[in-house]
Structure 1
Amino acid sequence: MFRLDIPKFLEAAALKGDTHNAAIARRTGIAESSVSRYLRGEAQPDLNCAMRLAEHYDLDLRGVIKRVPIEAGA
């Protein structure tokens, strides 16, 4: 399973002056409700949204999307 590294992403967004969900949504074209769910860890961006986040914040996906082990029984 892969998850967005939220602290790393927020650091990159802040460097562009985007410190609120609305600013991230405006810059990327991703719905503010989706951005909010991503940043709360309730959902993960699909590949299209992950690419948008990476492109707009000059990120390498391998640096902000991390593999997390799947626990047995999960």
Structure 2
Amino acid sequence: MDALFITTGQLPTDCAFLESLRSNGWQVVKTTVAISESNYQQHKPSLVLVDVRLPDFSSLIKYVRSYFVNIKL
């Protein structure tokens, strides 16, 4: 299973939660907001994780809601 982790690109991807996903068979793909749509289309993840510390978090959520109509946030 694939998971997409949208972050600023400055944070390490070795946090305990991501490591737990990886150890349970998930492939975690780290991406930035700028290329997240492209990575989403490429990987078709089952799970999208968003770093709440993103400077443009509210803009990203508005975009996600408009682009992915059936998604639950």
TM-score, normalised by the number of residues in structure 1:
0.33
Q: Which has the higher strand share?
A: 2
Q: Which has the higher helix share?
A: 1
